Amino acid sequence: MLYHFLRHGTLWVFRILVMPFCTPTQVRNVDRLKGIQGPLILAANHDGRIDPVWITMMIHRAEPKVFKDVRFFAWHTFYDMPILGWYIRNMKSYRLINRQGLQVLDPGVEFLKEGGMIGIFPEGKIRKLTEKDKRAKRGIAYLAWKSEAPILPIYIKYHKRWKRLPFYTLEFAVGEQFTIHDIIKSEDDLQKGADQVLGPIYDLASK
């Protein structure tokens, strides 16, 4: 009950407080979000802290009358904060700790096996325009390998409208589902599988 209240409340507040400053002007293939169901991994590049809300918003826009339970991973530094942590925990996010081994992702694996949907940012952090060393971490491959879930690539980009004012336009694109678990035979193959993920995501960027 609380989860549903927070989910709908977040979207309502987001529309009022965020969308006047960030307008989705380049939205492509959002119809691919209609009818999605688990097990499914929604993998996106990470361009800003509000990316999870935009993904949720676009899913809701595709099917406004259907509740889609998509859960995300959150770094423990945010998860353990007094107020923000309460919100993140009650949004049913999973706690992510760096350098704790891939088994920290097992709650997400179990949710996928139950037919759930997980949202994840394969690069693990927000990527800046100046960074050229884009590479997915092994976690995305671990989730796909253990759950055998397909991956849905999503591209998100914020374009500043005016140099000195906090107004942006949003580019949001959805690709076609693909799988990588069939090329992973053991943990030694995880990076090879992860390396197949970013291409379909960044290929969605406007040319």
On whether residue 117 sits in a domain, the answer given is yes
On whether residue 44 sits in a domain, the answer given is yes
**Cα 3 to Cα 91: distance, rounded to the nearest angstrom:** 6
Long-range pairs, 64-69, Cβ under 8 A, ≥24: 67/4, 67/7, 68/36, 68/117, 69/116, 69/117
DSSP bridge partners of 27: 172
On whether residue 29 sits in a domain, the answer given is yes
Split into its structural domains, the chain has a count of: 1
Joined tokens for residue 206: 């406007």
Q: Taking phi first (over 0 means left), then psi (-120 to 50 degrees means alpha), and beta for anything else, what does residue 99 get?
A: left
Q: What is the pLDDT of residue 131?
A: 56
Q: Are 130 and 179 in contact (CB under 8 A)?
A: no
Joined tokens for residue 151: 């991956």
- pLDDT(12) > 60: yes
6-26: average pLDDT: 94
On whether residue 86 sits in a domain, the answer given is yes
Instruction: Map residue 26 onto helix, strand or coil.
Output: strand
Check which CATH number belongs to the domain holding 67 and give it: 3.40.1130.10
On whether residue 207 sits in a domain, the answer given is no
**Cα 49 to Cα 158: distance, rounded to the nearest angstrom:** 11
Question: Is the pTM higher than 0.95?
Answer: no
SS (H, E, C) 112-180: HHCCCEEEECCCCCCCCCCCCCCCCCHHHHHHHHHHCCCEEEEEEEEEECCCCCCCEEEEEEECCCECC
Model pLDDT for residues 161-199, shown as the tens digit of each residue? 988 888 999 999 999 999 999 999 999 999 999 999 999
The boundaries of the domain holding residue 139 are 2-202
Q: What is the pLDDT of residue 132?
A: 56
The label of the residue with tokens 């796909």 reads: 144
On whether residue 72 sits in a domain, the answer given is yes
Do you know the residue count of the chain?
A: 207
Q: What is the pLDDT of residue 129?
A: 55
Model pLDDT for residues 120-166, shown as the tens digit of each residue? 999 987 776 555 567 899 999 999 999 999 999 999 999 999 888 88
Joined tokens for residue 169: 């336009």
Q: What is the pLDDT of residue 166?
A: 87
Q: What is the pLDDT of residue 100?
A: 80
Model pLDDT for residues 37-86, shown as the tens digit of each residue? 999 999 999 999 999 999 999 999 999 989 999 999 998 888 999 999 99
